[in-house]
Chains A and B, each alone.
Chain A
Amino acid sequence: KNQVEQSPQSLIILEGKNCTLQCNYTVSPFSNLRWYKQDTGRGPVSLTIMTFSENTKSNGRYTATLDADTKQSSLHITASQLSDSASYICVDVEAAGTASKLTFGTGTRLQVTL
């Protein structure tokens, strides 16, 4: 059972609209939680990183929130653009000494249309 679950699996929105993607994680101990954007045929690119003490972080039109009590995170995309069409992956990070172990969700596939 994947310890990072995302919803919805896929989403279609009109250009200019906002959307919110959800992530529930159960991995512990928790170090930080990240959102990545993965374009088709490319590697994932980091959007945000939040530690246990942070509950919101923005990167341009992307805003991530974190509720460590309920182990939920969300990624809000404002004024969507066609270039936002991609998979968005939530990642739970466990710190292990000098290394980090990443557990990826299965992603939400977002399609922005005209």
Chain B
Amino acid sequence: DAGVTQSPTHLIKTRGQQVTLRCSPKSGHDTVSWYQQALGQGPQFIFQYYEEEERQRGNFPDRFSGHQFPNYSSELNVNALLLGDSALYLCASSSQPQHFGDGTRLSIL
């Protein structure tokens, strides 16, 4: 039984570009949450998807958007990338307790 899987594992982009990160939740889990973790910091909640709709959102600008598909997988899209968007992006499925993937390391040059 696969856990939460994320792709790609690493990604390098330049300022102003757009990026899409992908997440497949643990089998049977229908809720997906996305987090941003800057180096040396705890994860910060971006948003949560359930039944293909955004249910909760943290304090992130509209440049951050997402989508959930009927098979519960999810994408995180970030437009107009800034240097400060460099971070580890974590996906978590379910909520009690959340199961995390190993993240996508995004570096902005």
Residues on A facing B (Cβ under 8 Å): 2, 4, 34, 41-46, 49, 89, 96, 98-107
Contacts and interface: CB of A to CB of B under 8 A. Distances in A.
Contacts of B56: 96, 99, 101
Contact of A105 (B42, B95, B103): B42
A99 B31 contact: yes
A22 B55 CA distance: 32
A99 B98 CA distance: 11
Interface of chain A, helix or strand or loop or mixed? strand
Contacts of B33: 102
Interface string B52-89: 00011000000000000000000000000000000000
Contact of B42 (A96, A98, A101, A104): A104
Interface centre among A43, A96, A104 (most CB of B within 10 A): A43
A34 to B, nearest CB: 6
A107 B96 CA distance: 20
Contact of B97 (A49, A101, A106): A49
Nearest to A90: B42
B63 to A, nearest CB: 21
A104 B50 contact: no
A102 B102 contact: no
A99 B44 contact: no
B41 A106 contact: yes
Nearest to A2: B42
Nearest to B31: A99
